[in-house]
Structure 1
Amino acid sequence: MAKKTNFLLCGLSCLVLVVRTYNDPCASHPCPAKSYCVSKEQKYFCYCIDGYASNTGERNFKDRNVVCREIDIVNCSNFSSDATFQNCQKQLNLSSSMDNSREICTGFAKLSRGCGERRTTLSLQDIGNSYHFLTNLTSQITPGNQKQKARLVTTYLQSIEAAVLAAASRNPKETQKEEGPFMAINTQRVENCSLKTLSLKAEKQTMDIYCSTTEKEILGGIVAFISYASIGSIIGESFASEENLRTKEKLHNFYLNSKVVSGTVGSRKNISLPVSVNFTFQHEKMKRENEQSICVYWQGSSWSNEGCQVISSDENQTLCSCNHLSSFAILVATAKLKVLCSIIAGVLHYLYLASFTWMLLEGLQLFLTVKNLKVANYISAGKFKRRFIYPFGYGIPAVIVAVSAGLGHTSYGTETHCWLNFHGRFIWSFMGPVFVIILINFSFYLTTLCILKNQLSSLNNELSRMHNTRMLAFKAIAQLFILGCSWGLGFFLVEGVLDPIRSVMAYSFTIINVLQGVYIYLVYCLLNHKVREEYRRWFKKMRKRTETGNYDFFGSVTQTKTVENTVDFPGKSSNISS
């Protein structure tokens, strides 16, 4: 019985061992000496133990031929076989004027590895102060050597990211923050995805990344977000060109308008992500109306916007979405306006001012008509129109547009619409005259209503007072719109007025002013007695012409039939002819 029991236990233990071996990839994939294996979700990676680093410079690896070598933690001098050191010497390709390439690459290797992955001697504060290392290097570069500067910055950015990840992996804290004069760093260790989205903030910039992006990282992901204070001055607008940017419009006058930031999750670098990452950038200076924000990333030698797009942008900040992780920034450029857009803006400026000028003349004529009929008859004279009304109605707007174009012709047309530039004071070349005309016409309108009210009170009681009052009230309301007073609603469309009041004002302003032509037709055509009489005469003439045409048509048909009948009977035809 005991033998059977031992046999069953032995078999059960073997079965458990087989199951564990099947479920644990580390059991079937042993790591090399001085390293240990970590598995998660049927995947495994090898890590060098404390005090040792791989000869390839990788933090985790699967290759069994990788060797974990002891690192001199005191002075970190053994970097000849380090991958970062070797790649540095190969990629930088420094000129003869910089013969200290070994010291430079050793510095990058120290920065990226921190003298051993899980036993780094560099803190986040030390990493933040390493900006002096980059400025010392770039100061030695021959002016104009853009390629060499780009290689140095690329290696520096990669080393900073590696150093931050090494420091974060050594520290057991879930989150770490460091803000200094040269960079701000924020790291977060993700053990399990309790939150759908992770939000990291470095200074005033923000990175929002889905937690699912970190799930494939061993031991949970380490998310790092870095904001550089001054690196944009080194790789600024001189590294931007239209050839490397995919935009719908032709752009010029490029410049960086945000901090340069880096985002990384473990080993993920410049690879496509299943879910895009969002970045919120605060502008260094206020973006103007004719400027366009572009989300760009550092491609190694220039700025590119491939894989990135602008979600929203205003004058203070821009929200970007990118499908990969790298170093990012906001590039601002000015859209090249076709001369045609500026011409259209100038023509619209003139036509709008002319329409308001004629509204002013209409308000003046209405006031004088009610005040004194003799003056109204004098105004209606053709000689007075030619000498006063036409030059005033078309000449005053032309003078305003000419002066405005002379003082600020570049403010005609923007990248979004062919109209005046809203920023600055140039818009008052339109808003100023409009405001004055609306104010004058409204005063004319109130004065006219007071005069008409006094006249109505003196009407004979036998007249149809009710009908006249209704007609007068309707004409008065329509005249209010004709005089342009409804344009005053546009002055309430400012940022200080919040929704839903602002939306109600916007819809009211649009609907009322679009129908201005209808108001003019109603008041001056349908509700005008003389015009209605002319319509009646015109319809009568058309009716008479139609009846005459029908009579002639039917008469000709009847005559034709009569002639045909006479041809059929020759005898009758001869009698008729005789």
Structure 2
Amino acid sequence: MELKWSFLLLGLLVVLTGKAKSCGPGFLIEGKGCKDENECEDNPNLCGDHSICHNTNGSYYCTCQPGFQSTKPNFTATDPHCKDINECTDNNPCPKNSTCKNSMGSYTCECLPGFKLSTETAACRDIDECDSEEYKCGKHGSCSNLAGSYHCKCNPGYSNYGNNQTKCTELKCDRANVTPKQAAMGDLLNLFKSSCQSLSHQKQQHDSGKTLLKHLMNVGGQVVSSGNVSDSSTLSTFLGTMEDTLRLIVPQLNEPLTKVNNDNSEACMAVKKDLTRPKGSMIMNAEGVHLNISWKTAAGEEYPGFAYVALVSYNKSLNYPTTPVLEDPKAESRNASYQLNSRVVTVLVSNTQTEHLPEPVTLTFKHLQNGAVSEQLNYSCVYWDETRDGGAWSQKGCMTAEFNSTHAVCTWSHLSSFAVLMALYPVKDTFELVLITRIGLTLSLVCLFVCILTFCLCRSIKGTRTTIHLHLCLSLFIADFIFLFFISSTTNKVGCAVVAGLLHFFFLSAFCWMLLEGVQLYRMVVLVFHTTLRSLYLYAVGYGVPLAIVIISAIAYPSGYGTERHCWLSLEEDFIWSFFAPVCIVIILNSFFFVITVWKLAAKFSSLNPDYCRLKKLRGFVVTAVAQLCVLGGMWVFGCFLFQEQGTVVMLYLFTLLNSLQGALIFIMHCLMSKAIREEYSKLCGGVCTQQKKRYSEFSTNQSSNSQKPLRSAPSTGESQI
């Protein structure tokens, strides 16, 4: 009970004491009284950023720091915070020839380019750039100081290409005069000289750099499309003039990147104009090529105040001479033939010292003809060397080269005009091929000689087809004989050309007689009432057509007869088509006649013998038909596949084997498979045997005289049976 009353008295005492000590807002209880609460000290960020807190008796207020302002002069934390004052906009406090840069709560003054701050007057005064550096405008230019800048004036023969604060460089307007062969490039050289002289005499340029560049590409495109750049000296002049003219025009471009193209060429230009040397890499693309170069390489050691990279890609229609690359010993030993397999490109930079670059340049070319590297195909990264024998493709300076079937990646230590050459190596004459050719041709010559004697002496087989067979064998015999003994006689160029011409004529003559064979076979089977052809028509087609083709070919391209390896037709200028085109025509026509003839014969045999489709008889017919197709020139189809990349070796062996044995096939088809000729052979052999026996016997002279009678047989058409 006493404890309960004690708690009640204690609570009442506390209540009475609290009422007595209560303080107002902004004050704290201290002892028996109240004291002011310092809100700014207790909460440092009470007023927000960029502000100052001021404590008052029982309260506080906020003000902004210098350089900041608020909507109210004095505010509390519930009002908007302080905002920066832009001194440069409200009231520019900076001196003349300077710029004001605002900062948070303050500002700074910076002198304009060409001025510097004076510590004495606190003002920006002009810098005399002409005195700050010797040869500010180069050794051949005069410097004039301007307020905050300077101006360079170049001596005659030198120019800064309209960039009046860059050093003057030499123009070199005195290019060699045009030769009669180079007359097509007159407009290009005139453009170079007019542009160079205009810059040399500080004349005002009315055309912009881009306009001049378009004009240059159009004039260069006309030269490309004319097809007159076909020799080394003309190509050197063209590429050199293009480079020199580009050096005049590209520095006048104002855009960082410029592209101009037409049907014959494409140009891509990157320009940087700054007092500081550019850094980093530059990647550029044009038609068929990708360039990777550094700005350090482009600017060079003597930086004139600007740098540029130019990439020009020329159309493949320009007939560039493909001089052999002397650095390729493999090509020299194997007599490789070359052709361009990429667009020719020119890489040009403002740096004039490009013989030994500080960093390599990488060019990625796209092949014009896709193909993987093999024993018969190889690629070379080359550049056009003007100093070598009037101009030639060279591999010198190529650091690395990587090739696949579609692209070539070339890394160079210098700059020039570049390309990718494709080297085609001739297939080596292996021992097996030579052996097959010699044995096959020897056998064919023997068989053809027997065929010629047979067709001339056997009277019982006289007829139109026999005449065709005779002249076919004569043409093939002469052609095979010349081929076997004179095909490699390349020491005498005139004699080699004669051999090639004779081979061209007699092989074409053989094909014309093959065509007549097909026509006659068609007329006998299909047009049974018209089985003969007039002899005049036979000789006109068999010998007249080949003679006309050879004469026209010799007049059109006389140097096409004879090559370095064989006395045959050259592959240059597509001269081989003077033989290959007639051969294709004969094969196509004979194939048509063959199909119609076989179809007609199969129909006739089937009607005569319903069981003809039996396997054994059908097999014999097929074998006979295939042999006849070979006689008609069908085996020359394998020669078409020699131009393909896959299966070349297999087709080469098949082509060599079948064609070297064509004479043997003719002997089998038209002699051994002919019943009438077999009978004549039997009589001849029987007569010879009888004569041998009679020399050692006592037969009568009458019987002996009877054995000397000429060969005769029953009337026969003498035509071979298919």
TM-score over 0.5 for the pair:
no
Which structure would you say has the larger Rg?
2
The two structures have a TM-score, normalised by structure 1, of 0.43
The two structures have a TM-score, normalised by structure 2, of 0.36
